[in-house]
Amino acid sequence: SGSAACRLELIEVPPFLLPDNARAVNLMQRQELLGQNHFAMDVTQSIAQDASLSNLQDYIASINRKSIETFGKALRIALQPQQQMIGNGVFELAFLFDADGSLIELLNKQSELEQTIASGW
């Protein structure tokens, strides 16, 4: 259809299916742990397509309202939106916890710098 929209569903595993109410380790507090610790979603197009949204904070507030209306649950913010350079790009990023405590990173690209930025890796 040519739309940039996508749908991603995150499900909460019911407590009766989990051994001893197991949840993900809080990786904001245990950053020394190795391995896959989060996934990232670029929501730049979603923000750009909604005239009522101007930044990542607006986007998070919007999906929080929908979550409360639909599920009766508020989003759990691990890190409020902040600006960060990634390569030549200037991004807003924030981290949320999913229902099981795993981290979700949201990215909103604000601009691209013309000068070359040396990688810190």
Sign of CA dihedral 89, 111, 98, 30: positive
Tens of pLDDT, residues 11-60 = 666 777 666 666 677 777 777 765 667 789 999 999 999 999 999 999 99
Q: What spatial distance separates the first Cα and last Cα of the chain, rounded to whole Å?
A: 39
pLDDT for 7 equals 66
Neighbours of 103 (CB within 10 A): 19
What CATH number has the domain spanning 40-111? 3.30.720
Q: How far is CA 16 from CA 13, 19, 41, in A?
A: 8, 8, 30
Please, what is the average pLDDT of the chain? 83
Q: What are phi and psi of 62, to 5 degrees?
A: -65, -50
Tens of pLDDT, residues 51-91 = 999 999 999 999 999 999 999 999 999 999 999 988 889 99
**Model confidence at 2: pLDDT above 50:** no
CA-based nearest residue to 113, from 81, 92, 87: 87
